[in-house]
Amino acid sequence: MSKAQYITGLRAVEQLLATGSAEVRRLFAEYQTANPRVQAIIAAARDAGIEILPANRARLTQISGEGRHQGVVAEVRRTGVLDEAALRSLVEERLVADGDRPLVLLALDNIQDPHNLGACLRTADAAGVDAVIVPRHGAAGLGPTVSKVAAGAAESMPFAAVPSLGKVLRWLGDYGIRVVGTSDSADRSLFEADLTGPLVLVMGGEHVGVSKGVASRCDTLVSLPMQGAVSSLNVSVATGVCLYVIVRQRRER
C-alpha cells in the first residue's frame, strides 16, 4: 500500500486538484478563513467528492509538520515515485517514441535542502524534463516542503529514488544517452556543449557539487561562466540555467 503524505500551500494544492496527478484522500482546511483561494479549493475538493475536514492553523501545522501551510493541507497517495526498474521502462519507452523531442533527464547528486529540491522539480517540469533521479539515501526526498516549493510539479514529475546514482548513469550510457555533469572546475563552458540529443543532466549538492564517483560516470563536465565576485550559484538557480540552455538549443536545432 502506498504511504499517505501531505501537501501544503495554495499553489501546490490548486495544481494537485486541477491535474489529478496524485490521489487526494482528504483535504484539511481552515473553513473560517476569508481567503477566497482557500474557499475555492474547498469548493473544488467538494465537487471532486473528496472528504473535507475543518482544522485550525495549529492542527494544520501538526498534521503536515509545516508551519507555512497557508490554510490548506491535502493528504495524498503519491503515484509518481519510480523505482529503478520503472525508471528503465520509462527511458525505454521515451527512446522508442523519441520523435522531435529527445529524452532529457535530471539527476540530482545529494541535494539535501528540500527547498532546493522543490525548486529543481518546478523548473524541471517547466523545461519538459522526462524524470528526475535522486539517490535513495543521503538526499532530500519528497515531502510537504518540497511539494509546496514545487507548486504542483512534485506530484506530476516522474521522480525516481535509486540505490546507486552511479549505476543508473552507467546503464543510461549503455542506451546511448549522454551524461553531462556540472563542475566549477570544468574546462568547458555550458554554452560550448552540444545538448541537443538524448541526455541526462547531473547537478551536484549545495556545498560539495557532483561527487567524484558520479563525475567519473559523466561523458563531459561543463561549468557556468561566472563574471562577478561570487564563485558559484545556488543549485536550483544553476539547474534552471542549464535546463533552459538545453531548451534553447533544441528549439534552434
Superfamily, domain 4-77: Ribosomal protein L30/S12 (3.30.1330.30)
Superfamily, domain 81-252: SPOUT methyltransferase, trefoil knot domain (3.40.1280.10)
Using CA atoms of 20, 21, 27, 33 in order, give the dihedral in degrees to the nearest 10: -80
**Cell numbers linked to 82:** 519510480
Output the DSSP codes for 166-183. Answer: HHHHHHHHHTT-EEEEE-
**Cell numbers linked to 61:** 501545522
Mean pLDDT, 10 residues at a time, over the chain (253 residues)? 71 81 83 86 91 90 80 78 90 80 92 91 94 88 80 83 94 95 88 93 85 92 84 87 95 83
What pLDDT does 1 receive?
A: 39
Q: What is the mean pLDDT of the chain?
A: 87
pTM for this prediction:
0.78
Q: Rounded to whole angstroms, what are the CA distances from 47 to 14, 28, 166, 202, 232?
A: 13, 15, 46, 42, 47
What pLDDT does 186 receive?
A: 85
Query: Residue ranges of the domains in the chain?
Result: 4-77, 81-252
CA 87-92-94 angle, 5° bins: 95
- Candidates 149, 169, 23, 9; CA nearest to 88 is 169
**To the nearest whole percent, how much of the chain has pLDDT over 70?**
94
